[in-house]
Structure 1
Amino acid sequence: MLNAMKKNGGILAIFAIASTSLVAITNWVTHDTIVEQQQQELQKTLNQVIPQSMHDNQLFASCMLLPSQSTVTTEPLPAYLATKAGQPTAIAIETYAPDGYNGAIKIIVGLDMQGVITSTRVLAHNETPGLGDKIETRKTDWIFGFDRKTVTQSNDSDWAVRKDGGQFDQFTGATITPRAVVKAVKKTVVYFKENKQSILNQPLNCEG
């Protein structure tokens, strides 16, 4: 009985080692492919928030880490600097709307050097299908309502959903989601405009 248990234990150990080795080899073989796919997807999103006509650099490679402007995390969040002929033309800043209906909403905001929004996209969310998910471009064009807008003293009160006296539409049966996104986008614009020079002085350090 003891010998049989030892034999079975040895067989299980061999299988465990083989399985672990197979997973490790698979990860090693596919790592570069996964990284390349992630970079392509990131570049696609970045080209949506910052038009290709505004830059001649690889945006995903021009990444800096900025202090988080959200209560969701204290970890620095990436921003991607667009340049043309070596001069900064725009920036895409990742942030979170912490107060979505079903949790945090991750977004990225593109801005030109005057703090005017080039475009905005939602990167991740858990909002209710058919209601809060209208922040996605594949559902509606609502997110395009931020394009070419900025925040000034004279229009500060406009940065709210219509239910709160602002200029942005809310969704039928789902006001919390657009309210959260509007608030986060506004905060990102204000942050860039108030800290532009210090942001542009940041090193490109995402790899480090």
Structure 2
Amino acid sequence: MNRATSLGVLSLLAVVGVAATFFVHQATAPRIKHEQRALAARTLLDILPAASYDNQPLDQPLPLEHAQLSHSILLGGYRATHGGQPSAVLLRSEVSGYGGPIELLIVISANGKLLGSKALAHAETPGLGARIAERPNAWLQGFIGKSLGDPGDAGWGLKKDHGQFDQMAGATITSRAVIEGIHDSLRYFDEHRQQLLGSPAHE
């Protein structure tokens, strides 16, 4: 086999290899995308009561990217509906913890009450602030049912700061940041209720 023939064979094999890779990618891309979406749904929707929505909230993103609030940044959000009516809003928020940014998911019902919250990402100290990511999380569950007016603004703080909430043991900075982030999100919801829900909310 001469040099020209060898180069031709190698070029043909390279083309066949690239084509095969392309077709395999095309064939598997939808399944990979579906799996990624299912993972995102499990991560973001597991604290939203299943009976409270019948849409695909991830298909209804809200235009909130990087809205700067008093103590946090809103990274994005989603709207949940049931029977065509808005039932809840999911807000992704970033606060500054002891070890760095903490990304939170904060879920608020259409009537302004907190349905739940959880940490999506953090860099807090293991055994201390890192407990914010534990599931179930008794400390975070203590905020369920609270709203902007319950307690009032002065109550949204640690007891050591004259507020109404206990802290996670040994994690003052983390606890304070999370409380401020939840309070920020409830205030933002109250001020932008029409925009977030898309229609007037009913109790």
Give the TM-score normalised by structure 1: 0.75
Any unmatched runs of 5+ in structure 1? 1-16, 203-208
Matched to 1:177, the amino acid is: T
Question: Aligned pair in 2 of structure 1 residues 87, 118: CA closer, same or farther (>3 Å)?
Answer: same
Contact map agreement 2:97 2:124 (CA 8 A) in 1: yes
Contact map agreement 1:160 1:168 (CA 8 A) in 2: yes
Report the counterpart of residue 57 of structure 2 in structure 1. Answer: 59
1:20-169 alignment runs, 5 A limit: 30-70=28-68, 77-97=75-95, 99-138=96-135, 140-152=137-149, 155-169=152-166
Q: Displacement of 1:196 after TM fit?
A: 0.8
Q: Displacement of 1:128 after TM fit?
A: 0.8
Once residues 122 and 142 of structure 1 are traced to their aligned partners in structure 2, the CA distance between those partners, rounded to angstroms, is: 12
Once residues 156 and 175 of structure 2 are traced to their aligned partners in structure 1, the CA distance between those partners, rounded to angstroms, is: 11
Q: Out of 167, 186, 193, which is 2:183 matched to?
A: 186
Once residues 41 and 90 of structure 1 are traced to their aligned partners in structure 2, the CA distance between those partners, rounded to angstroms, is: 20
Matched to 1:121, the amino acid is: K
Question: Quick one: percent identity of the two aligned structures?
Answer: 33
Q: Displacement of 1:167 after TM fit?
A: 2.4
Deviates further, 129-138 or 144-153: 144-153
Question: Aligned pair in 2 of structure 1 residues 152, 31: CA closer, same or farther (>3 Å)?
Answer: same
CA RMSD of aligned residues (A): 3.3
Question: Aligned pair in 2 of structure 1 residues 128, 28: CA closer, same or farther (>3 Å)?
Answer: farther
Once residues 52 and 45 of structure 1 are traced to their aligned partners in structure 2, the CA distance between those partners, rounded to angstroms, is: 14
Matched to 2:126, the amino acid is: P
Question: Aligned pair in 2 of structure 1 residues 23, 70: CA closer, same or farther (>3 Å)?
Answer: farther
Q: Displacement of 1:39 after TM fit?
A: 1.6
Question: Aligned pair in 2 of structure 1 residues 29, 153: CA closer, same or farther (>3 Å)?
Answer: same
SS at match of 2:67: coil
Q: Displacement of 1:29 after TM fit?
A: 5.7
The alignment covers a number of residue pairs equal to: 189
The one-character-per-residue Cα deviations of 1:158-205 (angstroms, maximum 9, x if unpaired) are: 111222122222123220011101101100010011111123349xxx
Deviates further, 149-158 or 47-56: 149-158
Matched to 1:173, the amino acid is: G
Contact map agreement 1:69 1:188 (CA 8 A) in 2: no
Report the counterpart of residue 3 of structure 1 in structure 2. Answer: none
Matched to 2:141, the amino acid is: F
Matched to 2:91, the amino acid is: I
The one-character-per-residue Cα deviations of 1:83-105 (angstroms, maximum 9, x if unpaired) are: 111111111011111x2111111
Once residues 172 and 154 of structure 1 are traced to their aligned partners in structure 2, the CA distance between those partners, rounded to angstroms, is: 22
Once residues 18 and 170 of structure 2 are traced to their aligned partners in structure 1, the CA distance between those partners, rounded to angstroms, is: 49
Contact map agreement 1:50 1:91 (CA 8 A) in 2: no
Matched to 1:145, the amino acid is: G
Q: Displacement of 1:34 after TM fit?
A: 3.6
Matched to 1:66, the amino acid is: L
